[in-house]
Amino acid sequence: MVQIDVPVAFGIGTLFAEAAYRQLQTGQALPFYRTLVLNNIYQAFFFSWIPVYFMLNYFGWETTHMWWHADSVTAYSFYTPTFLVVFFAAANGGFLLGNRLVKQGRLGTNRAVYIGILIYSAVWILAQTNSTFRLGTYAEWKRGEAPWFYQDPTFLAMLIFTLLVWGAGLAIFFVRLRRGGNEMSV
């Protein structure tokens, strides 16, 4: 959901900065740029396309049936490009904040940022399951006719697939950065 995709991208940026803390604490340019590039590679190939897929195919769910009342993202010509700009600004902003905190030796503060985002995301999803667990259009949702997410086999399969891609990529990039980033060249 857009309401958590952008903060999660920010949180992943801070997480990657922490994973590469040994390299980043040196203050050298090469580790900074290598980690920044890896953050962008992860965001581009393992994350950003996921909300775009759901935006195009399950607009009501991706927007949690809030504020956007049309049936399709195509009704809002600037929605997808604006989302992508905001998404990557957040992802890079998270990394820049994480880098600053890591260089200052404030790993606990950095950790609080991404853990706070994780908690916010869980609360967002679980506190309003009537929105976050429903598919369909805004009109269907307002009428109480929006189907549950598990009733659509394509949605469910894609949700599982995208979570696996997202999670596996996150784990691989985190471990590689933690090990020093030497195994992963840019």
Give the residue numbers spanning the domain of 34: 2-178
Cα dist from 112 to 15, 27, 56, 108, whole Å: 10, 22, 33, 6
Please check whether residue 13 lies inside any domain of the structure: yes
Please check whether residue 185 lies inside any domain of the structure: no
Please check whether residue 147 lies inside any domain of the structure: yes
Quote the number of domains for the chain.
Answer: 1
Residue of 32, 12, 14, 7 lying closest to 22 (CA atoms)? 32
Digitized pLDDT (tens) for each residue of the chain, 186 residues in all? 889 999 999 999 999 999 999 999 999 999 999 999 999 999 999 999 999 999 999 999 999 888 889 999 999 999 999 999 999 999 999 999 999 999 999 999 999 999 999 999 999 999 999 999 999 999 999 999 999 999 999 999 999 999 999 999 999 999 999 998 544 444
Output the six-digit token pair for 125. Answer: 């999803």
Please check whether residue 99 lies inside any domain of the structure: yes
Residue-wise pLDDT for 99-112, tens only, equals 999 999 999 999 99
pTM of the model: 0.93
Q: What are phi and psi of 95, to 5 degrees?
A: -65, -45
